[in-house]
A and B are shown apart, each in its own frame.
Chain A
Amino acid sequence: MKHKNVFKSGAIASEFIGESIAKHQSKTNIGAHNIFLGQVRADVINGRTIAAIEYTAYEDMANAKFHEIREAAFNKFDLTCMHIYHSLGKVKAGEICLFVFVSSPHRKVVFEALEFLVERIKSDVPVFGKEYFEDKTHQWKVNK
């Protein structure tokens, strides 16, 4: 089964996020949006600073997992819509690598739904991150 592709090449632009918000102005049954933006941190580890993360994924399985997570969230919460985008390839420190956007008639639902989605994405989706330091050496990111 072919699932919707959640992945975007490179960083997620703030313009894309802005346009995504604007597109919902016609959906007037929505009363509350909530947005999570994952940003690449310039962690300093033993004196070396992270400059970028290069993301790869087991794309077929990852898109299937994103689909499962979406379905689980729609079943659990009264959501009007939901959008998830994740970067592949290099994303520099300070840029956005994950964009999760939920909308509902009322606010309480979107707070809970967004946390549910982000936690499931972090734990269940086979995405891998190669953290490049400014000196071009690297280490592998592990979600806590």
Chain B
Amino acid sequence: MTIKVKYFGQIAEVTGIQEEFVKFSGVTLMELVGKLSQKYPDLEKKSFQMAQNKELVSLDSKLTGDEIAFLPPFAGG
């Protein structure tokens, strides 16, 4: 499947882009993170949560094909 992946804040600083489409045949978010960590080695040094279809999900969640986002620590207000 092709998944839209969005990066924010200091994660976007590491990837150098804010979003991309990733072709991927794995099952879980963890596997997707593994693939993207090869492309962006500094990703593993960062702390982040992940959202799928705009809801926070755990890394062992299954990919549904919906939009994925890497979210660094929140800093609103």
With both chains docked as a complex, state the minimum distance between the C-beta of B9 and any C-beta of chain A, in angstroms: 3
Task: Please provide the chain B residues from 1 to 54 with a CB less than 8 Å away from any CB of chain A in the complex.
Answer: 6, 8-10, 51, 54
Q: Chain A residues near B65: list those with CB within 8 A.
A: none
Question: What is the 8 Å Cβ interface bit string for chain A, positions 122-144, against chain B (1 contact, 0 not)?
Answer: 11111111100000000011110
How many residues of chain A have a CB within 8 Å of chain B?
28
With both chains docked as a complex, state the minimum distance between the C-beta of B5 and any C-beta of chain A, in angstroms: 12
With both chains docked as a complex, state the minimum distance between the C-beta of B46 and any C-beta of chain A, in angstroms: 10
* A34 sits at the interface (CB 8 A): no
User: How far apart sit A130 and B10, CA to CA, in the bound complex (Å)?
Assistant: 8
**Are the C-beta atoms of B71 and A142 separated by less than 8 Å?**
no
Q: Chain A residues near B51: list those with CB within 8 A.
A: 58, 61, 126
Hey, which bits of chain B sit against chain A, CB under 8 A? 6, 8-10, 51, 54-55, 69, 71-77
